[in-house]
A and B are shown apart, each in its own frame.
Chain A
């Protein structure tokens, strides 16, 4: 049995940049966090905060001109050995075993994640056969089983259909079936419900929770939706412009946020249980363009607690702020 206090995945000071003619975009600028076995880590942030590039870095699928500049991504593999994914060649046999084998991945858009010219079954059995020494017949049997386990009705028939024949909800279920077909211990879910309707979203979140319980699998849930994070996560990492601004237990983040960005974000979201037609507190300005990265703390131009001469000159480090809490803000030094 795995030690629950030892991280399954440990990301340290990860920096991923995109080197373009117009300049360098620091998509991830020193992110650190841990994912524990059987737990859900929510990574929350708005567009450009680096949450998706973080996931791509972990799987080593960052497209050029992007590359990992610095940092460590240590994964405890199924056989108990540790691997630093940053050091692996992105085409090596080992990383290909990890993708799909140790780490499963589901994307936001289930339509574009499937090939339209292959059946769902062909794509599912391909994954099974790649990671297990089984024949076609056995792979198909496991494929049908996988579809059944994610609640797809009549899996014997559905397995021979194409992805465009499935509805959005079923397609996302099929995507989850592919990701889980080789029993990964970590599932990275990048905006898994963003393209779905709210009642379908509830079904998929329910399914993820059930599958996690059955398999004691860790989930890294990447989303911009604070409601989804509040429903699903055990621990939360809040990112802004490539940096982790705050991390902690889900209850601490939502009821005792420390970083001015987290606080402002929580106040500014409309909620179904607030008073109708009330003006919302807002965060001034908008997310800066990646080429116009502010100096010092990236949030300082929009921050209500901005301290001139301090926040605009140096970036605050991510420091402990109570049990299980970390915050990157000069207010808490």
Chain B
């Protein structure tokens, strides 16, 4: 049993250690491997029971690949994904198929697009009840009772059970997707961009529902998102990713108010604020996100970083604890004073 980095009174549900996922680039007739896309490159984090950790970053930063590796929807190249199962830490990355099947009851997923993630030919009863059927839980009557209970839990009327997905709005469909994820009483829920496809006026409803369910059911969320304002509303801790690596992780408040990594600072500054009086002198990053198949030497962020020094071009920084629970991977983290967002 390994319990590391857990604060007092907290117990670890998930620990990811040195996770790597490289995709080969194949070319030519013989499909020779000519390079590797380092989608996830040495990522480690801990998720405590009942907590919400968000992985945030821009497209191609590896946040979704990380979440898929956690569920072993794809097999990682290297590293461990330790999930607590009755007090024992089991490595999801290497566990046998049969054990994995049992573990999957404890970890479920909420998808981004409520339009493509529900089978249009299945009724709501079939969709929400499918995990129960697959894992052989209960008979038809018991499954029906459970589906009724789940629909109520997510704020849908149980009469809707016989309808097909097309009869529902985007927000209602996302509720159906959440009900399906909760069918087996999971402990870990991975939510990949669960509100980004929804209308603004519906996003708040779903965010509130997720907070509610967490309180009532003691769920642990691994939340994957690109929208920093959504992340701020749901998370206790945030990990910022850039080109396959975590560059900063901290409690939500600390990360937003006093970011320590220049990329976090730029990301926060780039978010348009819904207040015309805050039209600020934004930090506009030059250039583009580095190519994960051909990463720059040293710190991945140095070609776009306004604070870069020679050392940043030569040596890759490592994650260091700079304040309690605040980890940063930047050579200059201790000397820089960076701009966060102010409270209102």
Answer yes or no: are A and B bound together in one complex. yes
Least distance between B131 CB and chain A CB atoms (Å): 26
A228 within 8 A of B: yes
One of A47, A201, A229 near B199 (C-beta < 8 A): A47
Assess the B236–A268 pair: CB atoms within 8 A. Answer: no
A251-B277, A265-B201, A280-B207 are contacts. A225–B230 as well, Cβ < 8 Å?
no
A199-B58, A255-B277 are contacts. A286–B200 as well, Cβ < 8 Å?
no
- Residue positions of A touching B, CB distance < 8 A: 46-47, 167-170, 197-203, 205-206, 224-231, 233, 250-251, 254-255, 264-266, 268-283, 286-287, 289
Q: Once bound together, how far apart are the Cα atoms of A277 and B169, in whole Å? A: 26
B295 within 8 A of A: no
Assess the B228–A268 pair: CB atoms within 8 A. Answer: no
By a CB distance below 8 angstroms, the chain A residues around B342 are 273
Assess the B233–A280 pair: CB atoms within 8 A. Answer: yes
Q: A227-B273, A272-B229, A272-B341 are in contact. List 6 more A-B contacts (CB 8 A).
A: A250-B276, A266-B274, A270-B204, A274-B232, A276-B232, A277-B52
Interface pairs (18), CB distance under 8 Å: A46-B199, A197-B59, A198-B226, A199-B266, A199-B270, A201-B270, A201-B272, A230-B279, A266-B274, A269-B204, A270-B230, A272-B273, A273-B342, A274-B344, A277-B52, A277-B211, A277-B234, A279-B208
Q: Once bound together, how far apart are the Cα atoms of A225 and B199, in whole Å? A: 10
- Residue in B211, B275, B276, B278 whose Cβ sees the most chain A Cβ within 10 Å: B276
A199-B58, A250-B276 are contacts. A282–B270 as well, Cβ < 8 Å?
no
Assess the B282–A202 pair: CB atoms within 8 A. Answer: yes
By a CB distance below 8 angstroms, the chain A residues around B208 are 279-280, 282
Q: Once bound together, how far apart are the Cα atoms of A202 and B273, in whole Å? A: 12
Identify the closest chain B residue to A167 (Cβ).
Answer: B288
Identify the closest chain A residue to B209 (Cβ).
Answer: A282
- Residue in A169, A199, A281 whose Cβ sees the most chain B Cβ within 10 Å: A199
Assess the A230–B288 pair: CB atoms within 8 A. Answer: no
Assess the A264–B201 pair: CB atoms within 8 A. Answer: yes
B320 within 8 A of A: no
Identify the closest chain B residue to A250 (Cβ).
Answer: B276
Identify the closest chain A residue to B205 (Cβ).
Answer: A282
A227-B273, A231-B279, A271-B229 are contacts. A277–B236 as well, Cβ < 8 Å?
yes
One of B170, B199, B235, B266 near A276 (C-beta < 8 A): B235
Identify the closest chain A residue to B201 (Cβ).
Answer: A283
One digit per residue, 1 when the CB lies within 8 angstroms of any chain A CB and 0 when it does not, for chain B 168-187 equals 01111000000000000000
Interface range for B: 35 or more
By a CB distance below 8 angstroms, the chain B residues around A205 are 272
Assess the A202–B341 pair: CB atoms within 8 A. Answer: no
Q: Once bound together, how far apart are the Cα atoms of A99 and B137, in whole Å? A: 61
Assess the B282–A206 pair: CB atoms within 8 A. Answer: yes
Least distance between B220 CB and chain A CB atoms (Å): 14
Least distance between A281 CB and chain B CB atoms (Å): 7
Q: Once bound together, how far apart are the Cα atoms of A143 and B183, in whole Å? A: 57
Assess the B253–A276 pair: CB atoms within 8 A. Answer: yes
One of A279, A283, A287 near B211 (C-beta < 8 A): A279
By a CB distance below 8 angstroms, the chain B residues around A289 are 169
Q: Once bound together, how far apart are the Cα atoms of A266 and B277, in whole Å? A: 15
One of B200, B253, B275, B341 near A265 (C-beta < 8 A): B200
Assess the B204–A281 pair: CB atoms within 8 A. Answer: yes
B293 within 8 A of A: no
- Residue in A198, A225, A287 whose Cβ sees the most chain B Cβ within 10 Å: A198
By a CB distance below 8 angstroms, the chain A residues around B279 are 230-231
Q: Once bound together, how far apart are the Cα atoms of A270 and B266, in whole Å? A: 19
B271 within 8 A of A: yes
By a CB distance below 8 angstroms, the chain A residues around B207 are 270, 280
A198-B228, A270-B233, A280-B207 are contacts. A275–B276 as well, Cβ < 8 Å?
no
Q: Once bound together, how far apart are the Cα atoms of A275 and B341, in whole Å? A: 11
B256 within 8 A of A: yes
Identify the closest chain B residue to A48 (Cβ).
Answer: B199
By a CB distance below 8 angstroms, the chain A residues around B266 are 199
Identify the closest chain A residue to B269 (Cβ).
Answer: A202
By a CB distance below 8 angstroms, the chain A residues around B289 are 197, 199
One of B52, B274, B278, B343 near A269 (C-beta < 8 A): B274
Q: Once bound together, how far apart are the Cα atoms of A234 and B208, in whole Å? A: 33
Q: Once bound together, how far apart are the Cα atoms of A169 and B304, in whole Å? A: 15
Q: Once bound together, how far apart are the Cα atoms of A67 and B39, in whole Å? A: 47
Identify the closest chain A residue to B344 (Cβ).
Answer: A273
By a CB distance below 8 angstroms, the chain A residues around B272 are 201-202, 205, 225, 227-228, 230-231
B268 within 8 A of A: yes
Q: Once bound together, how far apart are the Cα atoms of A266 and B276, in whole Å? A: 13
By a CB distance below 8 angstroms, the chain B residues around A280 are 204, 207-208, 233
Least distance between A310 CB and chain B CB atoms (Å): 23
By a CB distance below 8 angstroms, the chain B residues around A276 are 232-233, 235-236, 252-253, 256
B30 within 8 A of A: no
B202 within 8 A of A: yes
By a CB distance below 8 angstroms, the chain A residues around B73 are none
One digit per residue, 1 when the CB lies within 8 angstroms of any chain A CB and 0 when it does not, for chain B 153-171 equals 0000000000000000111
Assess the A287–B271 pair: CB atoms within 8 A. Answer: no
Q: Once bound together, how far apart are the Cα atoms of A233 and B275, in whole Å? A: 11
